[in-house]
Amino acid sequence: MRLLVTDAAAQPPRQSTAWLIMTLGRNNPYGNTARDIRKDMARNLRVHVTQTFATPKAGNLDVISSISYDFEAGVKYASVFIPSESEALGVLGCYLNDPQLLRQSDTGIRTESGFRDTDEKISSDDLLFSPQVLVYTSQVFPTQIKQNLIQEAKVRGLVFILRDGAYIQARLAAEKPMAFISHDSRDKEAIARSLAVDLQKALCTVWYDEFSLIPGQSLRASIERGLKECRKCVLILSPHFLSNGGWTKAEFDSIFTREILEQSNIIIPVWHNITKEQVYEYSPRLLDKVGIPSSLPSDELIRRLLTAINHEERK
C-alpha cells in the first residue's frame, strides 16, 4: 500500500528550535487542539522541538514535535501538533518517510527522575521508545485516508493515534470550559479576542463566542450552558460593557446569581479603561473584587488570569 501526498506534499524541516517543559497538570491561536495535548500528557516531562516545514499552501509551517517521558511506565513516546487545516497530510508524509524526525527532540537531552533523599534514580536514557505516536491536528481526515496513514505507520514500526478535527470537536462537546469570557462585542479587537487566544495558547479552555458558538445552535442556551459550566468568568469591564444593557448585563446577572447560589468566587474582573467610580456605579460589589488592569503587559495579564482561574478555594 502506498500513501499519496501529491498536492499536499511538504518538504522536511529546514530548521528547528527546542525547549524543555515540565507539565504541572494545569489547565495556541491553536485553540482546543493544544488543550487536549495538555490533558493527554499532563503528568509527564516533555521536550519540544519546533520543526519548520516548507508547504505548498501554508508556506513555512511550524510543527511542534515532542517526546514525553513517562518514568512510571518506563517509556518515552512521540507526539506532533500540526496547526494547519490543509497541510497535515503532507507533514505526516515527511514523518513517515523519515521516522527519525519524530525523535529529534530526544537528541542531546538527558534527565533523571527520583525522590529526594532516596537512591531511586531513573534516567531518560533508560526509558524504552514506544512505537506509539500521538498526532494532533485540526484537519479532518476522511476515514480511508486515516486508515491509510495508520497502515503506512505500521509498516514502519509505528502506531499512529490520529486525533484530528473530528476527534477534537467530539471531545470539546463533552468538556467544560475553564473560563467564560464575558465582554462587549465592541471590545473584541482591543482586548477580548487576543485575551481569549492567549489563554488558549496557555492551554486554558475558554468559552468565547467566536470559538464556542456553532451556527444553528440556540444562542441563549449555549451562553447559559457556558455560564453554568465554567470554572471562572472573566468580565472585561469597559465603558462599552458597563453601558450595555443587553447580553453583557444578562451574563453578569447570571454569574452574579451563581456566585450567591454556590457561595464561591467565580468572577474575575479585568479593568479596561474604566475608573473605580464607574465600577461602583455599575455594581458596588464588583469594586470589592481584586481586578486585573488590562494595561499590564500581555504575558503578565495572562499569568495573573491563569493564577486566578486555577485557584482552588478552601471551603
Give the other-Cβ count within 10 Å of 128's Cβ: 9
| Cα 245 to Cα 115: distance, rounded to the nearest angstrom | 56
Four-point Cα dihedral 257, 259, 260, 262, nearest 10: 120
**E strand or H helix that includes residue 212:** helix 209-212
The phi, psi pair for 221, rounded to 5°, reads -65, -40
Q: CA–CA separation, 100 vs 12, rounded Å?
A: 11
Catalytic annotation present for 251? yes
Sheet strands side by side (includes 75-82):
11-22, 45-55, 59-70, 75-82, 128-137, 159-163
Spatial distance between the Cα atoms of 151 and 179, rounded to a whole number of angstroms: 39
Residues in the chain: 315
Three-class SS string for 37-72?
HHHHCCCCEEEEEEEEEEECCCEEEEEEEEEEEECC
**Rg of the chain over all Cα atoms, to the nearest angstrom:** 22
Whether residue 276 contacts residue 284, with contact meaning beta carbons closer than 8 Å, is answered with no
Q: Which residues pair with 49 in a beta bridge?
A: 18, 65
Q: Which amino acid is at 203?
A: L
Query: 189: how many CB neighbours lie within 10 A of its CB?
Result: 9
The C-alpha torsion from 271 through 186 and 305 to 234, rounded to 10°, is 90
Active-site residue (options: 85, 210, 224, 251) = 251
Q: Please give the positions annotated as active site.
A: 251
